[in-house]
Amino acid sequence: MSIIQTPNGFTLDNSGTRHVVDPVTRIEGHMRAEVNIDENNIITNAVSSGTIWRGLEVILKGRDPRDAWAFVQRICGVCTGTHALTSVRSVEDALGINIPENANSIRNIMQLSLQIHDHLVHFYHLHALDWVNPVNALKADPKATSALQQQVSPHHPNSSPGYFRDVQNRLKKFVESGQLGPFKNGYWTNPAYLLPAEADLMAVTHYLEALDFQKEIMKTRTIFGGKDTHPNWTVGGVPCPINMDGTGAVGALNMVNLNQVHEIIKQTKTFIDNVYIPDIMAIGQFYKGWLYGGGISGQNVLAYGDIPIKANDYSAGNLMMPRGAIINGNLNEIHEVDHRDPEQIQEFVPHSWYKYPKGVKGLHPWDGITEPDFDVSTAKGTSQNIEELDESASYSWIKAPRWRGH
């Protein structure tokens, strides 16, 4: 057994065989994972490394803060406007700017549509292929798949045997071509896949439906923000003028636009109710054994809250999505979080490739320092070809935000 003491007080067992996955694919970022597995195939140690230095704080130095949103949101093509909205709010907070109620409502609609869009993309197009086997779907009986669909979601209109047979035939041609595209290099013979063929066919069908539905849900942000993936924002409000008469500036919001947004919201709710939630419930029934684990992330959870009901009020009672902290897995106690308090929220870097002044442990984001300090001298291999990270030292470009040091 090999025991490692980390700078933040953890004791790790890195005995057994080391396995490296780099890059970890189908996630929203750049990641490397290393695990130690003992002779009983039990994971005894795990290391997660963020492998890209974004350097947003460095990029923004010397720039007009009113333009910051345009830079920061382009660091990601999936979370898109979230970075921009956070930046805009920060500038408004610093300058004491209040926004109109209409602007707050539009921002909330844009942010919520992004969140729902993000959940769909994550589940179907990034995550689902860990549970769903598209090759096994070729063995399914379309009639039985139709019966399954009507059982888990009786209100979804696309549920006939002929519909699933058509999808299966398309999938068959795709597989027989040998050009699997996003399904290439999958471990489709792995026994860890537990879904019956009919559930696989239903889920793959909804994978394709969700892929098509993406272009509808993103129209909301296009109407309000001018485009998507990276819509426009502005300090002090939103960039879209409102003219209910349909005259004036090109692109001004009118009843036609707002009715379209309303229709998209209804379509989105229908898709979530008839496809997304039933799929999660159905697939989850076959993978109950995967609820174990989670490590520290399953014990300590920090949420900042979002979606203010009334403009300019970020108090806990005005947020649709609450904020709070869960410590040591105690779900019976939700600690109140004040993200403005430098004693509550701090970013730590003992395992990150950054350096703080001597004696400084954690810093509130207001006081944060982003000074890269890439050092893999204790890792196995070279800086150009890292064979194995040293988890007792720095191993990631990600800082560790904590609530009161937890």
Q: For residue 246, what pLDDT is reported?
A: 65
Angle at 105 between CA 100 and CA 110, to 5 degrees: 125
- Token pair, residue 340, equals 């403005």
pLDDT band at 149 (very low <50, low <70, confident <90, very high): very high
According to DSSP, the residues that pair with 47 across neighbouring strands are 34
Indicate if the pLDDT at residue 27 is higher than 70: yes
How far apart CA 198 and CA 10 sit, in angstroms, is 45
| pLDDT per residue as tens digits for the range 101-118 | 999 999 999 999 999 999
User: Which has more confidence, 251 or 330?
Assistant: 330
At residue 43, the pLDDT reads: 86
Q: Could you tell me the pLDDT band of residue 45, with boundaries at 50, 70 and 90?
A: confident
DSSP state, residue 372:
B
Percent of the chain predicted with pLDDT > 90:
70
* Contact call for residues 80 and 230 (beta carbons, < 8 A): yes
User: Where do we find the tokens 């919520």?
Assistant: 112
- pTM for the structure as a whole: 0.90
- Report pLDDT digits (tens) over 340-351: 999 999 999 999
Question: How many CB atoms are closer than 10 A to CB 34?
Answer: 21
Domain parsing of the chain, residue ranges:
113-292
Q: Sort strands 386-388 and 31-37 into parallel, antiparallel or unpaired.
A: unpaired
Condensed to tens digits (0 to 9), the pLDDT of residues 293-321 reads 666 666 889 999 999 999 999 999 999 99
Q: How far is the C-alpha of 103 from the C-alpha of 239, rounded, in Å?
A: 9
Type and span of the H or E element at 303: strand 301-303
DSSP 8-state code for residue 340: T
Of the candidates 252, 245, 403, the one whose C-alpha atom is nearest the C-alpha of residue 327 is 403
pLDDT of residue 247: 67
Give burial (CB, 10 Å; 0-12/13-18/19+) of 97: middle
| Whole-angstrom distance, CA of residue 157 vs CA of residue 150 | 9
3-state SS class at 360? coil
Reported as half-sphere exposure (CB side, CA atoms, 13 A), residue 329 has a value of 7
Residue 272 reports pLDDT greater than 70: yes
Q: How many CB atoms lie within 10 A of CB 193?
A: 19
Sign of CA dihedral 57, 58, 62, 64: negative
Average pLDDT over the chain, rounded to an integer = 90
Q: CA-CA distance, 117 to 104, in Å (whole number)?
A: 20
Please report which confidence band the pLDDT of residue 253 belongs to, taking 50, 70 and 90 as the band edges: confident
Instruction: Report the pLDDT averaged over residues 139-166.
Output: 95
Residue 320's pLDDT is 96
Question: Which pLDDT score is estimated for 308?
Answer: 98
Long-range pairs for 331-334 at CB < 8 Å and ≥24 separation? none
